[in-house]
Structure 1
Amino acid sequence: MKTGFVNIFGKPNAGKSTLLNAFMDEKLAIVSPKVQTTRHRIKGILTEKDYQIIFSDTPGIIEPKYKLHEKMMQSVKGALEDADLALLLVDLYEDLAECDAIFSSLKLKVPALVVINKIEGAKGTKLEDAVNFFKEKSYAKKVVAVSALKKIGIDELLKEILSFLPEGEPFFEGDELSDLSTRFFVGELIREQIYQLYQDEIPYHTTVLVQEFKEKQTLIKITADIIVQRDTQKGILLGEKGSMIKKLGTQARGEIEKFVGNKVFLELFVKVRPKWRDNETFLKEYGYK
């Protein structure tokens, strides 16, 4: 049996979360066109009869601007240290030299596959040029092209991954999909809807803390706090006469019900915590270790 840890690295918006979801055929990581959607390291456990792969989706690699960013980059550093194989994900339409500089700076101690993503609309020699560019790099054992969104090339990529993994016993029981709790994923699904519904700045100033998760006979009762930095942001989240928070609750509830496979009663509260992104105590309370 092949088993191993395969960690996904790349710039913000390269498609890391979409790739994790494509591997798992399950929505584990939230997805948004906005950058820096992923803040935590999210593991997906893919178990078949002859292999178990533990994938990690990591935050996009950025220069930290405040403590929250530092925590995000610490989770990237942790993922560098415990991988059996690294997937270096590149958006085909990104600056390839910039991606190369980032990958070179990682100082990888494990084999790496360069995965060129978003190939579905590739024209002319663009894809061929990108493949040739990365083939020459010392850190790239192989270069594989995929469309995570359209699930093109995923099976081929899996075969390449398995060729690099060691043999061993599985780390997790067969039916586990992640090492994270349902409560964590509920908070992420609420946060995803904030990214969908609100203007550019709001999602980056918010986080979600699930305060209550109670399974009753006919439904699951969930209470969650949405944390913002300023009263004006609270006003935007609530909307006129509470219209926006109501819309947010409806959309989030629908996504959570799909995820848990049960009816959900969802209550949302908005709380102001000035400068929470730079406050060590708040960050720990909100799950950013």
Structure 2
Amino acid sequence: MTTQVFIDGEAGTTGLQIRERLENRADISLIQLDDARRKDADARKTALNSADIVILCLPDAAAKEAVAWLDNPKTRVIDASSAHRVADGWTYGFAEMAPGQADAIARARFVSNPGCYPQGFIASVRPLIEAGLLPADFPLTYNAISGYSGGGKAMIADFEAEGSTMPPYLPYGLTLEHKHLPEMLSYAGIVHQPVFQPAVGRYAQGMIGAVPLQLWALEDEPTGADIHAVLAERYANSTFVKVAPLIALERSTEITPEVLNGTNSLHLHVCANDETGQVILLSVYDNLGKGASGAAVQNLNLMTGMDESTGLTKG
């Protein structure tokens, strides 16, 4: 028996990529509305309540409305918006976040897909706090850049229309109130929100995040090897999250925003200088793969009992 899946908002960037990953799978049957009915409330309500699993690729307000329309208690939901990421009753859909998280996703009725930026931050920081290498109140900074595809249709249209005249590096979130901060605070194990400085690059897809650490400020100053060992142990058996070997690098073509495009992988790099007591934790992944559509399919696989890598490319 196939799983009936309805992607509400499949015409958007995330929805289109989810559909591409699902449309040729024998275990999935997609419920699709033609263009004339995609915005028809009655047609959407019928599709929502006919599905085994609904994937919401909608603005926050529309996602909340869609959940309110559910009257079939057997319909399960993956919400790719930010509407429910820290809401009661919703399971956070970052399977690698902690031991047991994948099992929690598999059992859940309501799963909130993570934001793209928080995954790199949480993957880098949470294991170190749980291992006692970083205190939960340690002041943290997160600098990250994503391709313009993460900004939705309007931003994609602007960059593709203007081409080389668009800024090559465009910082934003400068009010320090980015919508991804609540989930970083909730799931990284920290007590103070980080200084988060996101940016958009003049390229379509892919991202890299950096968490700089002043280890000399800690009473029991860990080394780069200590940091690396904790991360390597945490993700040793992970399908998609990999920790690169601890080696001294001035630069590397493996540490660029676009290197994992088209995959559902997330690579972590520990760049350390023990003489100065400093470390930079780098996370590299595809903002439309592991950062959005790939993560949604991984969560769908867990919820349907399939191998989590089904239909997903590893890098």
**TM-score normalized with structure 1 length:** 0.31
Kindly indicate which of the two structures has a greater share of residues assigned to helix.
Answer: 1
TM-score normalised by L of structure 2: 0.29
